[in-house]
Structure 1
Amino acid sequence: MFDSSDHLDRVAHPGRYPLVLAPVIKSVKLKRMLIDGGSALNILFAKTIDDMKIPRSELRQSNAPFHGVIPGLSATPLGHITIPLTFGAKDTNRMENICFEVADFKTAYHAIIGRPMLAKFMAVPHYTYLMVKMPGSHGVITLRSNIKQAFNCEA
């Protein structure tokens, strides 16, 4: 549940900033992961897997093109990969294996997380409060977007 205690002290422009979280993928903390509840895909960008030293040979073939990531263009992913994604702190965290399409786009983000991940984690985003809540083994896990990081990504 979201309530007034979740509201930020000051929101200069509600709805202007993206919801950006910093989960851990394969033991690497990625600080610029966009939460997009309107996306039907989870996308990990090629530069991110290269920076994480994940060999492209681990990608499985994916021939289905997707649309809407870059306005007016369709793209065929390099492949897809299923890897562990962890949200939360040491004492309260949640890990699930998530399938990502790998795309070779230049972007400010490491990845875009869409409805498939939100459903798997049973996570609920709130774009006004810039937070996500999901069930964890020790209660609700609450994750806040870093406003400064969100602003930098948007810029």
Structure 2
Amino acid sequence: MDGGSGLNLIYAETLDTMGIDRSRLRPSKAPFHGVVPGKQATPLGQIDLPVTFGTPSNYRKEVLTFEVVGFRGTYHAILGRPCYAKFMAIPNYTYLKLKLPGPNGVITVGTTFQKAYECDVECCEYAAAITVTSDMAVQLAEVIEDLPDAKQSGTSFEPTEGIKEVPLNPGCSNGGVVRISAALSPK
């Protein structure tokens, strides 16, 4: 659960694993930011799914609207503020607990510090991999822009303005010449 998220997200891979047909998706309204580091994400659509917390003797079940995303994530789903509001849930990040009212008392959902740490590490590694991949794509695009025109021969040289011809061997009249910029300093 992520109290900073304004959306409930579920990954398309999670829907596939659950055996839910993607034809159930409704068109989604708009793209969002902050899920993929530094990028805008466009959902595949929306879906309403029942979510249950608790035990058979004390549980709450509500239908939540999820934005379905087509990229890979480190979780199965992200439950955001809309989930907190619908379940009237209160998170305690220090104790890694989520508490919500149930028909037979308070329902407590929790995890271990070890599991939370493992999820954080995996999430950070995934974010770093996305950032590196994105940086490499930008660098590749820059290299492609800087490539010479393929129609020009790699061995031909067309002088531009300000070129000075300097003989390779000043004592020989039929020796080769080097073309250098006339704007260079004498040093």
Common fold: TM-score over 0.5:
yes
2:2 counterpart (19, 29, 36):
36
Matches within 5 A, 1:48-127: 48-127=14-93
Higher relative contact order (CA 8 A, sep 6+): 1
Larger helix percent: 2
Aligned-residue CA RMSD (Å): 1.0
How far the C-alpha of 1:151 sits from its partner, in A, is 2.6
Deviations 1:79-99 (Å, cap 9, x if unpaired)? Answer: 000010000111111000000
How far the C-alpha of 1:146 sits from its partner, in A, is 3.5
Q: Secondary structure at the match of 1:50?
A: helix
In 1, Cα distance between equivalents of 2:63 and 2:73? 24
Larger Rg over CA atoms: 2
Q: What are structure 2's unaligned runs of at least 5 residues?
A: 122-187
Mapped pair 1:149 → 2:115: yes
How far the C-alpha of 1:109 sits from its partner, in A, is 0.1
Q: Secondary structure at the match of 1:39?
A: coil
Q: Which residue of 1 aligns with 2:145?
A: none
What residue identity is the alignment partner of 1:56?
R
Larger strand percent: 1
Q: Which residue of 2 aligns with 1:25?
A: none
How far the C-alpha of 1:147 sits from its partner, in A, is 3.1
Deviations 1:56-83 (Å, cap 9, x if unpaired)? Answer: 0001011410000012101110000001
In 1, Cα distance between equivalents of 2:58 and 2:97? 16
Give the paired residue count. Answer: 121
Deviations 1:17-40 (Å, cap 9, x if unpaired)? Answer: xxxxxxxxxxxxxxxxxx100110
Give the TM-score of the pair, scaled to structure 1: 0.75
Give the TM-score of the pair, scaled to structure 2: 0.62
